[in-house]
Amino acid sequence: MSDREKCLKNVQRYSFAVTEAALFLDTHPDCSEALAYYNKYKKLCDEAKTQYESKYGPLSISSDANEKAWQWANGPWPWELAANEEV
């Protein structure tokens, strides 16, 4: 697995944890343990996104990586051969 894939897996892993915690908090809003879990994984998710985007570009159109220059359309598109090669 390439470094890019590992970084993306971390983003996905932490994003999943954040989403699940948020759904739990919807039905258990006073659970301090769940809120601490949410905050922990939200921070880890934000760090993982920042790490990925600093190396490989924005993950979404609303990414902070687009602040200095519009990078969303840079790089190969998914249907281009280069998008399917190791970086």
Rg (CA), the chain: 16
Q: Determine the pLDDT at residue 63.
A: 76
Instruction: Compute mean pLDDT per 10 residues along the chain, 87 residues long, and list them.
Output: 92 98 98 98 97 87 68 66 60
> If you count them, how many residues does the chain have?
87
| Residue 18, number of CB atoms within 10 A of its CB | 20
- Is the pTM higher than 0.85? The answer reads no
